[in-house]
Structure 1
């Protein structure tokens, strides 16, 4: 089973690679460096091993979508298509649902600020008659990975501007009830995966609270360590799960609604 793990920055990619190493770097079109595990000789019976390819795509949904699409296309052209794409990294957690140090597996990957401002408030792009604002990973896969990682399951919001105030945090929480985390790449990764018909997950380890930017309170090191632990547990969860198949059709986010 071949899994493409897409992170924003090299530190997140290296945390993923630390779960399985050693890795070699393979150059892709566009200058991307795909880190692929050196495959061990495995003669044991049972399911095929899980290979975690890791790619640092850059920050934001556009960079994430471009890099993911490039990697998926390259994999298909070499006759080794990916079975799953995972958007992964550290992120902000919405209090009190996802405190510092927690792990979140997205049951909805939501474009939280894709739409228009109107006199009545924010209108998601779906209400304007375009596109989609959410991807919903396979529920059985979400449950299996969350159980293996000791993680919470809930919506993860993709934003192009990181939240830096209590007011915006409250707006997002009201617009998307139950949201657990905020990051910048998941929806872009999911869009590319859907275009290629590949299932997708998003996994975030919480390094800071969504709201006012208090850098002294951030816990980036522990969040990266937690990311390594998650990807140490992921292969076992995937081998035990038989629900990998065609990517589900995108659905509107239940929480995407207008707010004053």
Structure 2
């Protein structure tokens, strides 16, 4: 059995994590942007490792994210207590309806529209990163870019601290493989209207490198 598999969306995130790793058994792999490609690529990596007789012990989805104002500061680190497919459901005149409320059989939901982090893995990360903010991390296919959509998400998910694009897909892959899962993000920008001047990519990547020491 091998160590931890850490998956990121893009190579820059993977490089930032590798720069701070202290455990040589941790594998870091960029798998692509969005929940579909991230989930498929993670499942393939897990299957190949298992076929080679060297299965991974656990999976972490990591990278940068947008933070909800007042809940997670720019440059800060967040840990997901659950990874949520925030736009997986249906619209209605009364608002968004998650899959669980549409009457679909549970076996078709892949564990539901929210996958909780493994308690032991999350506890270990919280101990190693005591300053991290803990809450739901939302997975979206379309990044939030207006004040109205930001307010709607914040109201619908009062425990959400950040928004990214891969966590739920990676979580489903890990769950189907029977492996512990967690999600770690650092905040590069506030969620809302796209203001590139407010983005702090350098700070977020530096925070990701600092947080990488917890991945062991």
TM-score, normalization by structure 1: 0.77
Contact 1:86-1:201 at 8 Å conserved across structures = yes
Q: Distance in 2 between matches of 1:178 and 1:92?
A: 15
Query: Aligned to 1:75, what secondary structure does the other structure show?
Result: helix
What residue is the counterpart of 1:160 in the other structure? 141
What residue is the counterpart of 2:128 in the other structure? 148
In structure 1, list runs of 5 or more residues that go unmatched.
Answer: 22-48, 236-260
What are the residue-to-residue correspondences of 1:242-257 with 2, within 5 Å? none
Q: Distance in 2 between matches of 1:208 and 1:83?
A: 32
What residue is the counterpart of 1:206 in the other structure? 187
Q: CA deviation at 1:221?
A: 1.1
User: Of the candidates 130, 134, 141, which is equivalent to residue 114 of structure 2?
Assistant: 134
User: Of the candidates 104, 108, 114, which is equivalent to residue 82 of structure 2?
Assistant: 108
1:193 and 2:167 are equivalent in the alignment: no
Q: CA deviation at 1:147?
A: 2.9
Q: Distance in 1 between matches of 2:24 and 2:114?
A: 27
**How many aligned positions are there?**
208
Contact 1:3-1:50 at 8 Å conserved across structures = no
1:224 and 2:205 are equivalent in the alignment: yes
Q: Distance in 2 between matches of 1:102 and 1:20?
A: 18
Q: CA deviation at 1:50?
A: 6.0
Query: Aligned to 1:226, what secondary structure does the other structure show?
Result: helix
Q: Flag the structure with higher helix content.
A: 2
Deviating beyond 4 angstroms after TM superposition, the runs of 4 or more aligned structure 1 residues are: none
What residue is the counterpart of 2:92 in the other structure? 118
Q: CA deviation at 1:122?
A: 0.8
User: Of the candidates 54, 57, 60, which is equivalent to residue 28 of structure 2?
Assistant: 54
Query: Aligned to 1:170, what secondary structure does the other structure show?
Result: helix
Q: CA deviation at 1:18?
A: 1.2
1:172 and 2:153 are equivalent in the alignment: yes
What residue is the counterpart of 2:45 in the other structure? 71
Contact 2:26-2:215 at 8 Å conserved across structures = no
What residue is the counterpart of 2:54 in the other structure? 80
Contact 1:104-1:146 at 8 Å conserved across structures = no
Query: Aligned to 1:51, what secondary structure does the other structure show?
Result: coil
Larger Rg: 1
- For the aligned residue pairs, the C-alpha RMSD in angstroms reads 1.3
Query: Aligned to 1:87, what secondary structure does the other structure show?
Result: strand
TM-score, normalization by structure 2: 0.92
In structure 2, list runs of 5 or more residues that go unmatched.
Answer: none
Shift of the 234–83 alpha-carbon distance from structure 1 to 2, 3 Å rule, reads: same
Q: Distance in 2 between matches of 1:144 and 1:198?
A: 16
Contact 2:121-2:181 at 8 Å conserved across structures = no
Q: CA deviation at 1:144?
A: 2.5
